[in-house]
Amino acid sequence: MRITNDQYARLLYEAFSSSNEKEKNSLVAGIVKSIKDNRKQASLNNIENQYKVIKKKKSGELKGVVYTVKLVDQKQISSIKKVIASKKDIPEKSIELENRVDPGLMGGFIVRFDNEVFDGSLKNRFDKIKQALIN
């Protein structure tokens, strides 16, 4: 039976969650041996990325907020998730976005995700144009 990269990542997450150091070391050694035996060394970056996603998801770090003038539909939220997923190199399906209304926005949106802010608001765009005209 072939083990997928996602399964390896889940195994590693479970192994690192162990509180017993000896057990943790034994589990990790077994997983590394399995990766080597199955010739999956070329997939180590992908396994590492999947591990990080699982870890962040378990800790609630893959949640974000989209601020808009009015509630937007799932198609628009999905488009925003695609952009975030490509910028962060994470699976789109692992991202959770909540839509909140901010009547102070003139238009556009602001996304807060993973300690970053993506500002696509009209005010931000106007400010950039203003700066370009001044300089």
Q: Are 21 and 81 found together in one domain?
A: no
Q: Considering just the CA atoms, what is the radius of gyration of the chain in Å?
A: 20
Q: Are 53 and 113 found together in one domain?
A: no
Residue numbers of the chain with a pLDDT score lower than 50 = none
Reported pTM: 0.59
Average pLDDT over the chain, rounded to an integer = 87
Whether residue 9 contacts residue 51, with contact meaning beta carbons closer than 8 Å, is answered with: yes
Whether residue 13 contacts residue 58, with contact meaning beta carbons closer than 8 Å, is answered with: yes
pLDDT of residue 64: 92
Q: Are 104 and 54 found together in one domain?
A: no
pLDDT of residue 60: 63
Q: Are 67 and 53 found together in one domain?
A: no
Whether residue 114 contacts residue 62, with contact meaning beta carbons closer than 8 Å, is answered with: yes
DSSP structure string for 15-47? HHH-S-HHHHHHHHHHHHHHHHHTT-GGGHHHH
Boundaries of domain holding 97: 62-134
Amino acid sitting at position 69? V
